C-alpha cells in the first residue's frame, strides 16, 4: 500500500453516507503489479464532500516509468446526499521530472468558473475556454461519487454525466449489469454482493484525436474484445457509501484489474494479510 494517510477527522453520526472512508488498491496489468492507489472520501461536513485519489507506478514499472498523480475534488452535496456538485477539482501529475497541474473551478449553480494550467509551457494562469465545452459539466470524481451514493440507497447503476477535461467534453455513461456475489481472494479483500456496472464515454466536443487515446483507446480495445470497462461497487461497511471494489479493463496488451486491498471507516477496518 502507499504510505499516504489523510488527516484524522471527527466523524459525525448522521447515518448512511455521512462518514469518512479510506480505500487502498493495487492495479495489475497482464498479471504484473503496476500501480498502487489510495482513495479518500469525506462527507463529515454538512452539505460538503471531498474526494482525493493518489496513485503511482509500482515496482519495476515505477523505476522504468516513474509517474505519480494526485486528483482531488471539493464541493457541495444535496440534502439527500445523492447529488455531488464540484466547487474545485485539481489534478497534479508528475512524469519523471515533468509536472502538470490542472485546476477547474465551478459555481454552485453548475456554471463553469475557471480553468488554469501549469506545465512547461503555461504558468498556471487561467486559460480561455469555450462555454459549450464547460458549462454544466462536472469532473470524474464527482460523477463517480454521485453514482456510488445512488447505488448505496438502492438505485441501479445507470447515471450519465458530462465531463470537461481541459481540452474535450465527453459524456460518462454508467450501464447497470446486475448484482453479483464476489469472493475475497489473495488479491482482493471484498466479499459480498456488488453492483456490476459497465462504463462508456462518448465524445461531445473539443480536441479529440483521430485515433483513440488514453481511456477512450482502452474502451475501444475492450469493445473489440467484447467487454467494455467494468466496475463493481460494493458496501464494505453497510452504514457507508458503496465504493469501487474491483475494476476490469480488457485491452490489446492484456487485461487490467484494480483490486481493493484495504479499507477503513469509522466502524470497519480490513486489509490483505501480508
- Distance, in Å, from the CA atom of 233 to the CA atom of 147, rounded to the nearest integer, reads 10
Q: Are 166 and 93 in contact (CB under 8 A)?
A: no
Beta strands in 141-213 (DSSP E): 160-164, 168-182, 192-206
What is the predicted pLDDT for the residue at 8? 31
pLDDT digits (tens, 9 = 90+) for 114-152: 999 999 999 999 999 999 999 999 999 999 999 999 999
pLDDT digits (tens, 9 = 90+) for 77-88: 998 888 999 999
pLDDT-derived band at 16 (thresholds 50, 70, 90) equals low
What is the predicted pLDDT for the residue at 266? 86
For residue 110 the three cell numbers come to 453548475
For residue 227, is pLDDT > 80?
A: no
* CA nearest neighbour of 166 among 106, 121, 103, 122: 103
Q: Are 163 and 169 in contact (CB under 8 A)?
A: yes
Looking at every residue in the chain, the average pLDDT score rounds to: 87
For residue 37, is pLDDT > 60?
A: yes
> Cell 451514493 maps to which residue?
149
Residues near 17 by beta carbon (within 8 Å), at least 6 away in sequence: 43, 81, 149, 152, 153, 240, 241
What is the predicted pLDDT for the residue at 228? 75
Tell me the CA end-to-end span of the chain in Å, nearest whole number.
Answer: 11
For residue 158 the three cell numbers come to 445507470
Instruction: Give the pLDDT mean for 207-224.
Output: 60
For residue 2, is pLDDT > 50?
A: no
What is the predicted pLDDT for the residue at 40? 97
pLDDT digits (tens, 9 = 90+) for 229-253: 899 999 999 889 999 999 998 776 7
Amino acid at each position: 500500500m502507499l504510505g499516504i494517510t489523510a488527516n484524522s477527522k471527527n466523524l459525525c453520526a448522521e447515518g448512511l453516507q455521512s462518514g469518512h472512508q479510506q480505500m487502498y488498491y493495487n492495479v495489475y496489468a497482464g498479471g504484473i503489479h503496476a500501480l498502487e492507489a489510495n482513495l479518500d472520501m469525506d462527507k463529515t461536513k454538512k452539505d460538503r464532500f471531498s474526494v482525493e485519489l493518489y496513485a503511482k507506478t509500482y515496482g519495476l514499472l515505477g523505476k522504468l516509468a516513474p509517474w505519480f498523480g494526485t486528483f482531488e475534488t471539493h464541493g457541495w452535496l444535496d440534502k439527500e446526499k445523492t447529488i455531488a456538485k464540484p466547487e474545485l477539482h485539481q489534478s497534479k501529475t508528475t512524469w519523471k521530472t515533468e509536472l502538470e497541474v490542472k485546476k477547474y473551478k465551478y459555481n454552485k449553480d453548475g456554471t463553469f468558473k475557471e480553468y488554469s494550467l501549469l506545465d512547461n509551457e503555461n504558468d498556471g494562469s487561467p486559460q480561455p475556454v469555450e462555454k459549450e465545452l464547460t458549462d454544466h459539466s462536472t469532473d470524474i470524481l464527482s460523477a463517480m461519487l454521485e453514482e456510488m451514493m445512488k447505488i448505496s440507497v438502492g438505485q441501479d447503476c445507470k447515471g450519465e454525466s458530462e465531463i470537461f477535461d481541459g481540452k474535450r467534453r465527453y459524456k460518462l455513461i454508467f450501464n447497470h449489469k446486475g448484482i453479483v456475489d464476489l469472493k475475497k481472494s489473495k488479491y482482493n479483500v471484498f466479499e459480498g454482493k456488488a453492483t456490476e456496472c459497465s462504463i462508456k464515454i462518448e465524445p461531445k466536443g473539443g480536441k479529440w484525436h483521430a485515433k483513440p487515446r488514453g481511456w477512450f483507446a482502452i474502451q475501444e480495445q475492450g469493445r473489440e474484445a467484447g467487454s467494455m470497462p467494468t466496475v463493481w461497487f460494493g458496501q464494505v461497511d453497510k452504514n457507508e457509501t458503496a465504493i469501487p471494489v474491483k475494476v476490469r479493463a480488457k485491452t490489446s496488451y492484456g487485461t487490467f484489474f484494480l483490486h481493493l486491498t484495504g479499507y477503513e471507516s469509522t466502524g470497519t477496518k480490513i486489509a490483505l494479510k501480508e
